[in-house]
Amino acid sequence: MIKTNFALSSSPHIRDNDSTKSIMKDVVIALMPTTIAGIYFFKIQALLVILTMVLSCVLTEYAWQRFTKRPITIGNYSAIVTGLLLAFNVPPTLPLWMAVVGSVFTILIVKEFFGGIGQNIVNPALAGRAFLLACYPVAMTTWKIDGLSSATPLAILKSNQGTLPSLYNVFIGNVGGCIGETSALALLIGAAYLFYKRIITWHIPVSYIGTVLILTTVIGRHGLMTGNGIYEVLAGGLMLGAFFMATDYTTSPMTAAGQIVFGMGCGFLATVIRIFGGYPEGVSYSILIMNLFVPLIDKYVTPRVFGEVK
């Protein structure tokens, strides 16, 4: 008689071939079109900021884990992703020492102090942006193209002063703004790769972008039905936030229905801040605020339990 030994273990029993490292690697690849676009439009300044923030994030994570005698995780690419996303959320003219300060805060305070990857309660890159904006508001709101000062499209919409860039320039990225938010074309290419690799699903991006599109069109900046929803979607950091930061596994709901609620909440808050707030952009704060509601969404927006009987 042949005896077979079976291994018993707790759930999950069905596993996927994807790992944190492979997922983060795919995200890095998806961010490359936006990286190239940012360097193309903002030149050497953007390259220096990107390299500084990525290197600072990796070194901070490594140094903290060595100091606390925890496993070194820089090989899973998560620190690189955080550094890239943080760089995409700052102006290309940001002084490099500020880039270092922001990177250290992002990794040390927002990520590692909460236990590292998978334990943070808000998106680290967006929290880092909020920290930099609070500490260095002038540096974080100074925009230049080819060395000349330039207002962002959303700032022009907000103030109703100046000439709006064409929809074509907004789409390709030839406008003032943060390094990674200006080129909707590059962001869509990266998003297509994430969808192809099944890293993200449609629920959050579509509900987020769709909500902003509808609300900005209906509410309008100058009365009902005076808005240009397409322009609002392409301008600013909506594409970057919807595809690359609101979809963060750790800080977004687990269920499809919960993700739709999350995306709609982000879209509502972003629209309210853009139109009625004092700041022209609301993407970062909308995601950060909704990150805090994720436990509540997961609690009340849950799938029906298999075999449940009332």
**97-123 pLDDT tens trace:** 999 999 999 999 999 999 888 889 999
Q: Kindly report the number of other CB atoms within 10 A of residue 118's CB atom.
A: 11
- What is the structure's pLDDT at 196? 96
pLDDT, greater one: 96 or 8 = 96
pTM > 0.85: yes or no: yes
CB contact at 8 A, 152 and 176: yes
How far does Cα 258 stand from its chain's mean position?
18
Measure Cα distances from 208 to 128, 138, 260, 307 in Å.
Answer: 22, 29, 8, 33
Rounded to 10 degrees, what is the CA torsion of 173, 179, 180, 184? -10
Range 20-294 has CATH code 3.90.1690: no
pLDDT, greater one: 301 or 51 = 51
pLDDT per residue as tens digits for the range 53-81: 999 999 999 999 999 999 998 999 999 99
